[in-house]
Chains A and B, each alone.
Chain A
Amino acid sequence: MIEANGLTKDYGDKRAVDGLSFEVRPGIVTGFLGPNGSGKSTTMRLILGLDRPTSGAVTVNGRPYRFHAAPLHEVGALLEARSVHTGRSARNHLLALAQTHGIGRSRVDELIDLVGLHDVAGKRAGQFSLGMGQRLGIATALLGDPQTVMLDEPVNGLDPEGIHWIRTLLKGLAAEGRTVFVSSHLMSEMALTADHLIVIGRGKLIADTSVADFVAGASKKLVQVRSPQASTLADVLTGLGATVIDVDGVLEVSGLTSEQVGEAAATHQVVLHELTPLQASLEEAFMDLTRGDLEFAAIEAAP
């Protein structure tokens, strides 16, 4: 269980996290979604006490992270940036961290096998590929068999097999009753793994909702129509309460079903060349939601 209350963090005069309040509950996978630069990694660092909040507070299992006597048994974390000494082998890296909690060598070996690093465990971590580095980070996160697992962009750099492995792992951890908190900037990835979503943009909470509700609420229906009498049709449809956008002679109609558009065209004897129902993808829905909050939104070229 992670609880944030009015969490705020300033770096200089720049506000990275802005009054975030949310709960991450056990037993499900909670996705932490937001564009790059929206404050996800900062929030995770605040949760771990690596950075101190400017105001507000965040607790893990009822108390601030640094007050836990055995923190690795409470939360296992994979941070976005690499957190491994490049000159040390994967096995010694895990061993050194395990020893802070008196966790034995056998547990280290077990995790090396679990994440599939057996053949390279003696190699220096600096020689690891991005995917191997992610696997080592996940082994680090699971070292203390924690009740809460927090992963920042875990599928970054993984091949399809690795991505599948992560999804299965996360769902398995949640099914065991653990709290699983995973960040991503990819809505499609979250749709496949997460049960619940916390969406942020520019450090602010945008949505705190189940994935099912998000999908249902976000997917606006569009009908695409082509007609030689486009302007007549647009007037007719607008008269019926639809919103019509003319994109290079193709009408994008929202507010009416394709059946209603077809019937209206027939009634007014308008010729149609195309009538296509469209559904906005999850990715588009996410982009619509966060468009105003993009830190570095590309400026669209004037036509």
Chain B
Amino acid sequence: MSTLAVPASALRGRVTQLRVVHSEWTKLRSVRSTRWSLLVATVLTIGFPILASTVISSHWGSRSPHERATFNGLDPALIGSQIAQLAIGILGVLVITAEYSTGMIRATFTAVPKRLPVLWAKASVFAVVTFALMLPSVLVAFFASQSILSRHHANIAWSHPGVARAVIGAALYLTVIAVMTLGIGTIVRNTAGGIATFAAIFFVLPPLMDVLPASWNNAISPYLPGNAGRAILSITHDANSLSPWAGLALFCGYALAALGVAAVLLVRRDT
């Protein structure tokens, strides 16, 4: 009796990094909740700026001359990416913790027992998908919101110094969040714990700094991951924030550190 119809020789193939990337791409696109999260992130990134600019535009007449003078057309354009970071961050955690909670991780590590290729593949696939979706989203958000604001000449030009960097930087910021939260999820291995850690770092820690004396706050705050990362989104200079590229570099450093710790633990721990 032939139990397995295909001859063995037809199937020989070894595990390669590229094949694991292919596998992780299949995993990412084949879960409904992932597709929904990414769709929500895209819709928020584009939708909020359009909504915000429409509201601003319709109430432009009621603004004081001072408010009009200090208005920065870039702010509504990037407001969506600030909300999308929540969806991207949660998804980054889930990409790995959902494998632990369902037991899928055992099948994954049985297929790729060296384990690290799985982490690299997840990081690269999720980072590329995030950047590929978020870059067009922020560009659409920018140009759509500026065309709405241009009715009152409240728009800011793409050629204005720092604008292109800030808009593309928003997509980069979200991409680094994707990598960082994957690292956090791998370290924590638990969905609730991973999301809590992500939220603590990005949303709880910064306001906590306000209880510190101002000199401490000003010395520490710029180096917090979220603040460092968001330096690239701003075109106004502030004495208490890092320069755009230094901030992004530090933010990348945090993300790589999280991924590095994750890699060490992934190889050492039992599954």
Contact = CB atoms under 8 A, between A and B. Distances in A.
Answer yes or no: are A and B bound together in one complex: yes
A221 interface: no
Interface in B136-164: none
A73 B113 contact: no
Interface stretch (A27-35, A171-179, A228-236): A171-179
Given A71-B111, A88-B30, A95-B26, A100 B19 contact: yes
A93 B110 CA distance: 13
Contacts of A110: 5-6
B30 A176 contact: no
Interface string B81-112: 00000000000000000110011111111111
A145 B110 CA distance: 14
A70 B27 contact: no
A234 B271 CA distance: 58
Interface string B30-48: 1111000000000000000
A50 B11 contact: no
A93 B24 CA distance: 11
Contact of A101 (B14, B108, B114): B14
B22 interface: yes
A51 B1 contact: no
B125 to A, nearest CB: 12
Interface residues of A, number: 48
B1 A172 contact: yes
A72 B111 contact: yes
Interface string A72-105: 1100010101111111110011011101111100
A157 B117 CA distance: 34
Nearest to A52: B270
B106 A176 contact: no
A87 B31 contact: yes
23 contacts: A48-B109, A49-B113, A50-B109, A50-B110, A65-B113, A69-B15, A70-B13, A71-B111, A83-B106, A83-B107, A84-B102, A87-B31, A88-B104, A95-B30, A99-B19, A100-B22, A100-B112, A101-B11, A102-B16, A103-B11, A103-B13, A145-B8, A145-B11
Interface of B: 1-6, 8, 11-16, 19-20, 22-24, 26-27, 30-33, 98-99, 102-114, 270-271
Given A85-B98, A92-B27, A102-B19, 6 more contacts: A48-B113, A83-B110, A92-B30, A96-B26, A145-B4, A173-B3
Interface of A: 45, 48-52, 65-66, 68-73, 77, 79, 81-89, 92-93, 95-97, 99-103, 107, 110, 114, 124, 140, 142, 144-145, 169, 172-173, 175-176
Q: Which 9 A-B pairs have the closest CB atoms?
A: A102-B13, A66-B113, A92-B30, A99-B23, A69-B14, A172-B3, A51-B270, A83-B106, A85-B104
